Amino acid sequence: MAPKRSSWKPPVSTSRVPALVTTSSPMPFTFLRNWKRKRIMKQPFPATWEPHLHGLPFFHQLNGEEQAKLRRMVQVFVAEKDFEGCGGLKIDNSMRVGIAAQACLLILHLDHDWYHRVRTILVYPSSFRSSFSETGPGGVVGPPSSAAHAGEAWLGGEVIFAWDSAFAGGRDGEDGRNPVFHEFAHKLDMLDGYADGTPPLASREQAEAWRAIATQSFHELRQDAEARRRTLLDPYGATSPAEFFAVSTECFFEQGRQLKAEHPSLYDQLRRFYRQDPALR
C-alpha cells in the first residue's frame, strides 16, 4: 500500500516520459559511501544468516553468481538501514535478513542506490492500523483508514511491515502475494517523487511502451474486478495505477510463468525494467 499517492488516471501523463532517475550526490559523500560498502562486502557473509536466505524459495532459483551478489547486497542493506520493532517486537536477524533479501531481489540487476531514500524499516508483530488519511473524490481528505494492513511505503522514506505477513509471504513463493515485494515496488515507483505506477525507465521508447501496456492492463484488471471475474493478478491492483505496479511486481517474481502466459506484453515490460526473467528460473 502506498499511503501518499497521486490521483493518476490512465493514460500516464506524457509530461513525465521518460521517468529518469538520478541518484547522484556530492563527490565526497559518494566516495565515502562506496568505500564503506566495499568494506562491508569484503566481509564474509555471516554463517548464522544463511538459514534465513535458504528459507526463501526464490533464493534457490538464482544461479551461483546471483546468489553471491544477493548476499553482498543484503550485507549492505542491513548495514545501511535502520530496523525498528514496533508494538513490543524485538528485531532479530531473521527479520533483517528476510526483509533485506526480498527487497534486494527486486534490484538485483539494478542500482542499490535506488533504495537510498529508505532510511527506516518499521516492523510490527502482525497487522497494524494505518495512521494516514485517505483522499477521496474531489480531493476530499477523510479520516485515517480503520483497516488493518500488512505493509505501507511512505514517500518520505519509511517502509512498514507486519512481520507475520512478511515472513509468510517470503516462504510461499508461488501464490503471487508478497508484502515485501509489494512495498519495495512502491519505493521504486516513488523515486521520481510520485506514486503513480510509473517506475524509473531508461528511455522514452521504453516509457511509451510501458504507458501503453500498463494502461491497457490496468483497465482490463479493473473491468475483471468489477465483474468479479477471477484473475491471476490480485484485484487490489485495480485500486490505482500505483497498486497495479506493485501487484504486477509480486506476480512477476512469484508467478512469472503464469504471468508470461496470460499477460505476455506486461511480463515483457516488467522483464525489461527489472532486467530479470523469472519465467526461465
CATH number for the domain spanning 219: value is 3.40.390.10
pLDDT in tens, 165-194: 999 999 999 999 999 999 999 999 999 998
The residues facing 144 across adjacent strands are 133
pLDDT for res 34 = 76
- Whether 6 is covered by a domain: the verdict is no
State the pTM of this model.
0.85
Of the two residues 91 and 131, the one the predictor is more confident about is 91
- Whether 75 is covered by a domain: the verdict is yes
As a whole number of angstroms, the distance between CA 93 and CA 68 comes to: 19
- Whether 4 is covered by a domain: the verdict is no
- Whether 267 is covered by a domain: the verdict is yes
Of the two residues 31 and 250, the one the predictor is more confident about is 250
Place of cell 509468510: 168
Q: Is the pLDDT of residue 12 over 60?
A: no
Q: Is the pLDDT of residue 147 over 90?
A: no
pLDDT for res 129 = 80
Which amino acid is residue 42, in one-letter code?
K
As a whole number of angstroms, the distance between CA 240 and CA 87 comes to: 30
- Whether 107 is covered by a domain: the verdict is yes
Of 111, 108, 113, nearest to 281 by C-alpha is 108
Most confident range (mean pLDDT) of 11-25, 128-142, 144-158 is 144-158
Tell me the torsion sign for CA atoms 214, 239, 15, 158. negative
In a 3-state reduction of DSSP, which class is residue 198? coil
Most confident range (mean pLDDT) of 23-32, 38-47, 72-81 is 72-81
Of 49, 148, 155, nearest to 104 by C-alpha is 49
Q: How many domains does the chain have?
A: 1
Cell numbers given for 66 = 546471483
Which amino acid is residue 208, in one-letter code?
E
Q: Is the pLDDT of residue 17 over 50?
A: no
Q: Is the pLDDT of residue 4 over 90?
A: no
Mean pLDDT of the chain: 86
Q: Is the pLDDT of residue 86 over 60?
A: yes
The residues facing 121 across adjacent strands are 83, 159
Give the other-Cβ count within 10 Å of 35's Cβ: 10
- Whether 167 is covered by a domain: the verdict is yes
Of the two residues 139 and 197, the one the predictor is more confident about is 197
The residues facing 82 across adjacent strands are 120
What integer is the mean pLDDT of 201-228?
Answer: 95
- Whether 1 is covered by a domain: the verdict is no
- Whether 9 is covered by a domain: the verdict is no
- Domain holding 213, by residue range, is 14-136+145-280
